[in-house]
Structure 1
Amino acid sequence: MTTQQGTRQRRDERFDAGRTDRATFEVRSPGTGDVVGTYPVHTDDDVRDAVRRAREAAAWWADLGFAGRRERLDAFRGILARRIQQLGGIVAEETGKPHSDAVLEVALVLDHLAWAAKHAEKVLGRRRVRSGMLTAHLAGEVEYKPLGVVGVIGPWNFPVFTPLGSIVFALAAGNAVVFKPSEFSPGVGAWLVDAFAQVVPEQPVFQLVTGDGSTGAALCRSGVDKLAFTGSTATAKKVMATCAETLTPIVAECGGKDAMIVDEDADLDAAVDGAVWAGLMNAGQACIGTERVLVHERVHDAFLAKLTAKVSGLRAGADPEAKIGPITMPSQVEVIERHIADALERGGRIAAGGGERDGQVVQPHVLVDVPDDALANTEETFGPTLTVGKVRSMEEAVARANATSYGLGATVYGKRGREVARRLRSGMVSVNAVFAAAQLASVPFGGVGDSGFGRIHGPDGLREFTASQAVVRQRFKSALPLTSFERTAKMEETLGKVVAIVHGRK
């Protein structure tokens, strides 16, 4: 038994001390099929108990204030940084991604932890607001208060970066968190909760529940004050329906069908490198991964030649030398193969990559001549595939990129990148780089349409887990008591004159 497995086994024992009737589930490595952990399926009662404990812990955590919480969150960040290789090993083991990519995932989240802890007070703390001419006698203040307990349902594809984008921002805002990780990566969730408990041993501010969809549904019904969900659009609809039973608000970060646009004046080497990474890293299992590439006709052939050459040197596998790992969720393999087969049946062809799958290992595919209404261009593939299309202009590129029900992210390469970006229907756009919007901690992360709603990261991500409170006091008695039955005709005449001067001049 490895040290990581032993740690997780002890975690299970603490979950279920004295229990012999607990249902459990196994986690298997996508590459080898070996069992890497066994975890309990927590019931409705278990989840409610966790939320009850979190409710008590939330009051204590909120009372620490911004400075106290920042100190603890900075210490938590330090643990992640010092033990990055260990955490990366668990991520790689459970998801199948290469160890270097797993370590990179942990590294990229550290800036977000630092930003949330540092800026929470500035974004959420009490601030004065301006008065108008008719309200000069009033003084207003606004502050953002924690909701209480936030439930987080996390994904398996980025089991550290993505859920911590909700968890840490909710914690920085003063909430307690109950976290249900994916059943494919519960060991990562257990590690994170254990690490946080080392810097916050006093109260169960950050708790873990594990299980399948029934445990997630229990969290929706548990009385949390808000739920943050990351997953497919179809599952998000089920989560929303369940949360609606208790009028629990949610923030939903769902799938995407992200497009990359390459203009005629783009740096082709940079664009090709970005397309390969954004489309094929993590075996294409990224909600903000590029799945469609739209290239200006004047550089299309040159771009495609460079792209095929680069992809031809990549190989997917379960061995340490492979740059691309296996598909984490077994059922996703059928979806990927169906999309590729549909594209080929409808006139598309494989320009690079291809080959038979080996278990859950799917080789990268670059597909060309694929109709816009083919599955590979309309539905989220979530696999190592790229479709490449030719466009006559940026107007056509924008129209085709926007012709989707999704609207999560997009990428533009070219000197007009910022101009093109503003015309795209998506929550985030990266210009002359890939995944840039996700990396920058100070900007919001989220989508529109079938890609969900609400935001994590940045100031919007902090406010997402709070409720605003406005406090307005009267500084002096108004010469025009508008909210009184003592108002006279003379006062109303004066009011009319003031309104005409202030608002009627234009």
Structure 2
Amino acid sequence: MTGGTGHPVHTLDDVRAATAAARSAGRRWAALGARERRTALLRWKRALAARADEFARVIASETGKPVHDARAEVLMALVHLDWAARHAHRVLGRRRVASGLLSVHQRASLSYRPLGVIGVIGPWNYPLYTPMGSIGYALAAGNGVVFKPSELAPGVGVLLARSFGEAVPAHAGVLRTVTGPGSTGAALAGAQGPAGVDKVAFTGSPGTARKVAAACAATLTPLLAECGGKDAVLVAADADLDAAADAIVWGAMGNAGQTCAGVERVYAAESVHEELCARIVSRARALTPGETYGPLTLPSQLGVVERHVEQALVDGGTARLGGPDSVRARVPGPVVLSGVPEDSPAVTEETFGPVVVVNPVRDMDEAVERADASVYSLGAAVFTRSRAAGLALAGRLASGAVSVNSVLGFATVPSLPFGGAGESGYGRIHGAEGLRAFAAPHSVTVRRFAPPVDLTSFATPRERAARAVELGRRLHARF
């Protein structure tokens, strides 16, 4: 069956077949070892880099984002694939661990094994970069992957799997793409038995994540969920306001605001709030919708954005730039709001459009309190001229990642884990934690010599074992 995009609508049987094929190919892939997988993945990475323009054109055609944005997305995907390939052996390879006094006679080591087959359900806003944070790391860890891209951007996923097979033909079946609507994703998450995946990595809305989690729960399939955010920027009284305004506008309006860790809230010290608003408005007014950024990929999101802006004004907020009329076109204009009550949807719900709320706060203590009051906990940013103050504020914020004097700085650092809590989901991609997310710890002990008192043998006299236990107890009672 073919969907409206011209790509197949894969059924449960199709998903099971793809999973079984990925599992079979994945066994050979896992047997290669990390060093050989590194060689293969770097070969794929170079092929992707050579085809960057082709990928960018597909991304742009499916999402509507400008080609220059799509090219930047391809670059970020390359950066993460490169890091995963080069560091998997160090992160996941066998290493010695301390045995402790009680088990000094044992040599202990820890390594990580592939899980098997990872099901990746990708989003439409960054259809290459975001899923690569799971696909690249899962492959580097030795797994097979079945990728279900968004039905709004299936061509990127199809091209990705094809490019892998062309770059690494001996292992072409390790990465497979299935296409279709939500039912295809549900099949990927809910397939049971040997034809089911061993873990699901999902990116999307909290509502859909709950459905995926319910499907996974039926088979106790682990889930990694990245569900969006309502990221806040804290601007201290001593901040460089030009730098802060520039970063806020880029973080709020880039990709038409369709970034899970994009800027949606700003809390600025009262003494600089007005000046910061003026600078944000000046920069936002200079943007050219349709050129600087593209349309809302999901047409229904227009209604959400319009509702948030309208309600913000009804609740007593002020439109510093734009308003409800600005966001009724498929390519909405930038909107800057201020004085919006903290219980208004524009502050509490994910807007996912080119809208930013800039509210004044008494001090940074209040800013932290308001930032952490959200049900989302993904990313945040702090602007201050004091490095010590910036690090201190970053440490107080509950979000999974914080940038100081920039926004989204953590997204382009492949060694840093990315993820949140609450409505932002759970689990981490990227970095060493991202590699371990797609592997299972494997513990091994080797007995080196017979211990003076063997507590794991019935042959040890009971009195002698009791004295050894008592000695251990006393040591722990003292130290």
Which bracket does the TM-score occupy, shorter chain normalised?
Answer: over 0.9
Equivalent residue, structure 1, for 2:43 = 75
Equivalent residue, structure 1, for 2:464 = 490
**Residues 1:478 and 2:456 aligned together:** no
In structure 2, C-alpha distance between the alignment counterparts of 1:260 and 1:451, rounded to whole Å: 17
Equivalent residue, structure 1, for 2:205 = 232
Q: Deviations along 1:147-195, whole A, 9 cap, x unmatched?
A: 1100000000000110000000000000010000000000111111111
SS of the residue corresponding to residue 350 of structure 1 reads strand
SS of the residue corresponding to residue 504 of structure 1 reads helix
Contact in 1 for aligned 2:306/2:328 (Cα 8 Å): no
SS of the residue corresponding to residue 225 of structure 2 reads strand
**Residues 1:392 and 2:362 aligned together:** yes
Contact in 1 for aligned 2:326/2:335 (Cα 8 Å): no
In structure 1, C-alpha distance between the alignment counterparts of 2:454 and 2:379, rounded to whole Å: 51
More helix by share: 2
| CA positional deviation for 1:201 | 1.4
| CA positional deviation for 1:358 | 5.6
Equivalent residue, structure 1, for 2:300 = 331
Aligned length in residues: 469
| CA positional deviation for 1:359 | 4.2
**Residues 1:192 and 2:160 aligned together:** yes
Q: Deviations along 1:303-358, whole A, 9 cap, x unmatched?
A: 111111111111312xxxx2021100011111111111110111112101344446
Equivalent residue, structure 2, for 1:150 = 118
Q: Deviations along 1:79-135, whole A, 9 cap, x unmatched?
A: 221121121111111101111111011112222111111110000011111121111
SS of the residue corresponding to residue 396 of structure 1 reads helix
Equivalent residue, structure 2, for 1:9 = none
Equivalent residue, structure 1, for 2:351 = 381
SS of the residue corresponding to residue 289 of structure 2 reads coil
In structure 2, C-alpha distance between the alignment counterparts of 1:449 and 1:91, rounded to whole Å: 30
Structure 1 residues 70 and 237: CA distance shift in structure 2, 3 A:
same
Which amino acid counterpart does residue 41 of structure 1 have in structure 2? V
Structure 1 residues 262 and 166: CA distance shift in structure 2, 3 A:
same
SS of the residue corresponding to residue 294 of structure 1 reads strand
SS of the residue corresponding to residue 28 of structure 2 reads helix
Which amino acid counterpart does residue 128 of structure 1 have in structure 2? R
Equivalent residue, structure 1, for 2:339 = 369
Structure 1 residues 367 and 200: CA distance shift in structure 2, 3 A:
same
Which amino acid counterpart does residue 306 of structure 2 have in structure 1? E
Contact in 1 for aligned 2:190/2:218 (Cα 8 Å): yes
Counterpart among 8, 13, 23 of residue 55 in structure 1: 23
- The runs of 5 or more residues in structure 2 that have no matched partner are none
SS of the residue corresponding to residue 267 of structure 2 reads strand
**Residues 1:500 and 2:474 aligned together:** yes
Equivalent residue, structure 2, for 1:218 = 187
Counterpart among 384, 392, 407 of residue 434 in structure 1: 407
Contact in 2 for aligned 1:364/1:385 (Cα 8 Å): yes
In structure 2, C-alpha distance between the alignment counterparts of 1:494 and 1:460, rounded to whole Å: 39
Contact in 2 for aligned 1:364/1:384 (Cα 8 Å): yes
Contact in 2 for aligned 1:295/1:391 (Cα 8 Å): yes
Contact in 1 for aligned 2:233/2:266 (Cα 8 Å): yes
Contact in 1 for aligned 2:205/2:227 (Cα 8 Å): yes
In structure 2, C-alpha distance between the alignment counterparts of 1:209 and 1:109, rounded to whole Å: 20
**Residues 1:105 and 2:73 aligned together:** yes
**Residues 1:26 and 2:4 aligned together:** yes
In structure 1, C-alpha distance between the alignment counterparts of 2:81 and 2:179, rounded to whole Å: 24
Contact in 2 for aligned 1:315/1:364 (Cα 8 Å): no
Contact in 2 for aligned 1:480/1:495 (Cα 8 Å): no
Equivalent residue, structure 1, for 2:394 = 421
Equivalent residue, structure 1, for 2:267 = 294
Equivalent residue, structure 2, for 1:275 = 248
**Residues 1:340 and 2:299 aligned together:** no
Higher deviation after alignment, 284-293 or 298-307: 298-307
In structure 1, C-alpha distance between the alignment counterparts of 2:123 and 2:286, rounded to whole Å: 30
| CA positional deviation for 1:266 | 1.1
| CA positional deviation for 1:405 | 0.9
In structure 2, C-alpha distance between the alignment counterparts of 1:410 and 1:487, rounded to whole Å: 60
Equivalent residue, structure 1, for 2:11 = 43
SS of the residue corresponding to residue 124 of structure 2 reads coil
Which amino acid counterpart does residue 505 of structure 1 have in structure 2? R
In structure 2, C-alpha distance between the alignment counterparts of 1:353 and 1:340, rounded to whole Å: 9
In structure 1, C-alpha distance between the alignment counterparts of 2:329 and 2:57, rounded to whole Å: 22
Which amino acid counterpart does residue 206 of structure 1 have in structure 2? L
Counterpart among 347, 366, 380 of residue 410 in structure 1: 380
SS of the residue corresponding to residue 328 of structure 1 reads coil
Alignment of 1:449-488 (within 5 A): 449-485=422-458, 486-488=460-462
In structure 1, C-alpha distance between the alignment counterparts of 2:301 and 2:321, rounded to whole Å: 21
In structure 2, C-alpha distance between the alignment counterparts of 1:497 and 1:349, rounded to whole Å: 71
In structure 1, C-alpha distance between the alignment counterparts of 2:16 and 2:464, rounded to whole Å: 61
**Residues 1:124 and 2:92 aligned together:** yes
In structure 1, C-alpha distance between the alignment counterparts of 2:270 and 2:48, rounded to whole Å: 46
TM-score normalised per structure 1? 0.91
- The runs of 5 or more residues in structure 1 that have no matched partner are 1-21, 28-37
Structure 1 residues 487 and 277: CA distance shift in structure 2, 3 A:
farther
Equivalent residue, structure 2, for 1:167 = 135
Structure 1 residues 368 and 129: CA distance shift in structure 2, 3 A:
same
Using the aligned pairs only, state the percent identity: 51
Q: CA RMSD in A?
A: 1.1
TM-score normalised per structure 2? 0.96
In structure 2, C-alpha distance between the alignment counterparts of 1:85 and 1:209, rounded to whole Å: 23
Q: Deviations along 1:216-275, whole A, 9 cap, x unmatched?
A: 011012210000000001100000001111111110011111101011111111111110
Q: Deviations along 1:478-505, whole A, 9 cap, x unmatched?
A: 111112333421331233124323x222
In structure 1, C-alpha distance between the alignment counterparts of 2:280 and 2:92, rounded to whole Å: 46
Contact in 2 for aligned 1:311/1:353 (Cα 8 Å): no
